[in-house]
Amino acid sequence: MRIIFRLGVGTLCLAFGAAGGAAQNWTEAAKLALQARAYFDQGRYHEAEPLYQQSLTTWETLGGLIEMAEIYRTQGNYERAERLAVRALEISREAPPNAENLIRATAELGSICLDQGRLPEAQESYEEAQALAQKAYGAEHPTVGCVLKDMAKLCRRQGYSAKAEALYRRSIALLEAASSPGPDLALAMNGLAELYFEQRRFTEAQALARRSLAIMEQAVGPEHPHVATILNNLAAIHQTEGRHSKAEPLYRRALEIRRKVLGPAHPHLAVTLANFAELCRAHGNYSEAASFSSEALDILERVLGPGDPRVARARAYCAAMRRKARRTNSRTQFDNPNFTNRALNLGSERSGS
């Protein structure tokens, strides 16, 4: 979850006193935390991660703990993510009252549970975050809108489409009332677009995705991972409607951003590779479909492990693409027998945060 209010580097939870040599350590940790935060806000998570790790060994900042938890969650490293989120919650409850930190940590823990399919725990955390936000800021505050966005995503997972739509609309209304449109508004719009896509309301989904993209690019720039997510989703809408010529450049741009910003082994990159592979298959370009799907499979095997059923489905898909490429004498780069049984089939990405 991304709350629109952020802590400055001076808002620190002290892991130890700053006497003597500790003061010098704090200064260095503060510099690292500032640089890490700058990378985090730009979506350069693989560059932020080592800096956060270094700074947190010396001085625990609540912002650093929560942001590292978010980074690990997007990587699929849920054990580390949960450990940091729980630590942030412990500190938030022991330190002088700070509603923002407590809300952020509680909502992040909910997102970690949601991504793992632990829906009752996610609901409990989100409801607690909503109650905290309403108590601290009132029911009309944008921070409440951020929590409602996350609750709407939970309702989608639970199959409560009507409730999810109402929550998304309420979230958007609260976030639009903020002083200026920000990434949370764009994410809420993107989430509603995903819901419309699931309901095959493609015209509405496309319009919302385009609005979301414009707001996100204005808020965070053209090369942020959130921009890549919306590009991927917009491409999936075009692809589903058969407008492949419009989908292809969007997928290519999303791939470029994700390779550059997230690095070559991030699960979000695998999703776009999978979607693009399916687009290539639809065009009969089996060689490129095999290339993209094999690259994605490498990532999935590292993240999920070779025994995961999603990896098994992926392996079957890629093997099929390679067979088709051979039969049509398409050019392929996969003469290495180690690639023989690799495959990928993730389907469309519909991710909101």
Query: Which domains does the chain show, CATH number per domain?
Result: 1-96 (1.25.40.10), 120-179 (no CATH), 181-256 (1.25.40.10), 264-353 (1.25.40.10)
Task: Residue 140: count other Cβ atoms within 10 Å of its Cβ.
Answer: 11
| CA gap 264, 266 in Å, rounded | 6
Nearest to 38 by CA among 4, 64, 69: 64
Nearest to 33 by CA among 4, 3, 54: 54
CA distances (Å), origin 276, targets 151, 218, 239: 30, 26, 10
Quote the pLDDT of residue 62.
Answer: 84
Residue 216 main-chain phi, psi, to 5 deg: -65, -45
pLDDT in tens, 96-139: 667 888 999 999 999 999 999 999 999 999 999 999 999 999 99
CA angle (263, 33, 43) in 5-degree steps: 30
| CA gap 111, 125 in Å, rounded | 9
pLDDT band at 332 (very low <50, low <70, confident <90, very high): very low
- Check residue 280 and report its DSSP letter: H
Q: Which residues of 235-261 are buried (b: 16+ CB within 10 A; e: fewer)?
A: bbbbbeeeeeeebbebbebbbebbeeb
pLDDT band at 315 (very low <50, low <70, confident <90, very high): very high
The pTM score is: 0.82
- φ/ψ bin of 320: left (φ > 0), alpha (ψ from -120 to 50), beta (otherwise): alpha
The pairs formed by 197-206 with CB atoms below 8 angstroms and a separation of 24 or more are: 197/233, 197/236, 197/237, 197/240, 197/348, 197/350, 198/156, 198/161, 198/350, 199/161, 202/237, 202/240, 202/241, 205/237, 206/234, 206/237, 206/238
Give me the chain's average pLDDT, please. 85
Can you read off the two tokens belonging to residue 257?
Answer: 């951003």
| CA gap 39, 143 in Å, rounded | 23
| Res 294 pLDDT > 90 | yes
Quote the pLDDT of residue 256.
Answer: 96
Can you read off the two tokens belonging to residue 109?
Answer: 């823990």
pLDDT in tens, 57-100: 877 788 889 999 999 999 889 999 999 999 999 988 876 667 88
pLDDT band at 329 (very low <50, low <70, confident <90, very high): low
pLDDT in tens, 1-51: 333 223 333 333 333 334 444 556 778 878 888 888 888 888 888 888 888
Spell out the residues 6+ positions from residue 103 whose beta carbon is closer than 8 angstroms to its own.
Answer: 3, 129, 132, 133, 136, 143, 147
